[in-house]
Amino acid sequence: MRVTIFGSGYVGLVTGACLADAGNEVLCVDIDAARIARLNAGEVPIHEPGLDELIARNRDKGRLSFTTDGAAGVAHGLFLMIAVGTPPDEDGSADLRHVLAVARTIGEHLGEYRIVMTKSTVPVGTSDRVRETVAAALAGRGVQVEFDVVSNPEFLKEGAAVADFMKPDRVIVGTDNPRTAELLKALYQPFTRSHERMLVMDLRSAELTKYAANAMLATRISFMNELANLAERLGADIEKVRAGIGSDPRIGYAFIYPGIGYGGSCFPKDVKALERSAREAGMEARILGAVEAVNERQKGVLFDKIRRYFGTRLAGRTIALWGLAFKPNTDDMREAPSRVLMEALWQAGASVRAYDPVAMDEARRIYGQRPDLVLCERATAALEGADALAICTEWQEFRSPDFERLRTVLREPVVFDGRNLYEPALLAAQGIRYFAIGRGVLVS
């Protein structure tokens, strides 16, 4: 099948590469000429395990190509997927300018039947606005062309997006046309062969499903972080509590790991957007407001521990920081807890020596050159000259360090662990003071 994807960001590239790998002819369109030039030169502008090889293989086989030509994109594909960004507006609502701009482009060039699909995460009712925008552009040209609008939200986890697309838990399709649903089944058939994973529903239910899924996961995270803070005050160990409640099949273990808050491009934006949608519908979504408030507070927990430990001695100190990305296996630092910690440390007069396996270039792009930030090439190098270690991302290479070296290199043998990577008893035996999240020890 012939597929056009508008937007060559995270969702667009993963979707395009995976569809091409199934034998489809995919054209990715983006208005960013520099990005398209990089992609045509064989560079992949995002870090996602397995994506580089997937794009290279399908480019070489002629199944995946990139362009800035919107008209060519409309002419190419039966399926026109909108996968552009929907950043949060000042009031927390999703900014639909890019989505509707693509819809106008489609209407300006549509010449025969097409299926217009929104893969971007959008508020309920956006498909109606996309349909109206395409129809208005067609009317402006004085032509009538049949088209259908489908909501087909993505459920890709950063760091595991290729696997998520190739073996989806579910494929959500919102449509009011049974014929369109059959065409979508054919498109996704290579990825759902073992058993039927496609759920067909109305447009608005499909749009809400995406927001509901992310809000539910964010709620679990914030709830566990709230419990972790309570456990710390009661002298309980949240990791033992987590094992106790996770063993209940009604709860399970997914997304109940305490830490220093969620980040990235999805959860923060989507919780705020859903809360905004509720207000516009005349409803106060109190749980959503609490989820976001708890998360924002949790991002400051690690700095609070460091500040309580050093007190008036924090200014002039150097903190080693392991992990900059908001989660492992990505270089994404959007809304990352590491940024909250670093900026608070700088405000307090401290310096940072930081290391991340893949997010170093992103950190340079965000912060540039500054005297209170040293980006190190190895985790051990970040420890040199540091007074303490803070951990913000649970990268695999941080899970089993040389504790003896860590103790001797740090000026003070103290670790502030925002991801609960280690056992407190083990570090105590190594002579290292250890402050984690909800492990029953308050910083005094």
Do the bridges between strand 351-355 and strand 318-322 make them parallel or antiparallel, or are there none, so unpaired? parallel
Contact between residue 94 and residue 121 where contact means Cβ atoms under 8 Å apart: yes
Contact between residue 35 and residue 319 where contact means Cβ atoms under 8 Å apart: no
What is the radius of gyration, based on Cα positions, of the chain? 24
The C-alpha atoms of residue 12 and residue 173 are separated, in whole angstroms, by 17
Contact between residue 353 and residue 321 where contact means Cβ atoms under 8 Å apart: yes
Length of the chain: 444
Question: HSE on the CB side for 137, CA within 13 Å?
Answer: 20
Which amino acid does the sequence have at 240?
A: K
Strands, sheet with 433-435, edge to edge from the N-terminal-most edge strand: 373-375, 351-355, 318-322, 388-391, 414-417, 433-435
Report the SS3 class of residue 224: helix
Contact between residue 432 and residue 412 where contact means Cβ atoms under 8 Å apart: no
Dmax over Cα atoms in the chain, in whole Å?
Answer: 79
Which amino acid does the sequence have at 349?
A: G
Contact between residue 434 and residue 422 where contact means Cβ atoms under 8 Å apart: yes
Contact between residue 51 and residue 164 where contact means Cβ atoms under 8 Å apart: no
How far from chain centre, in Å, is Cα 374?
Answer: 26
How far apart, in Å, are the Cα atoms of 162 and each of 26, 253, 341? 16, 23, 31
How far apart, in Å, are the Cα atoms of 295 and each of 28, 226, 251, 288, 365? 35, 9, 21, 11, 25
Which amino acid does the sequence have at 325?
A: A
Residue 195's contacts (CB-CB under 8 Å, 6 or more residues apart) are: none
Report the SS3 class of residue 169: coil
- What residues are labeled active site? 266
How far apart, in Å, are the Cα atoms of 173 and each of 106, 180, 204, 308? 20, 10, 10, 51
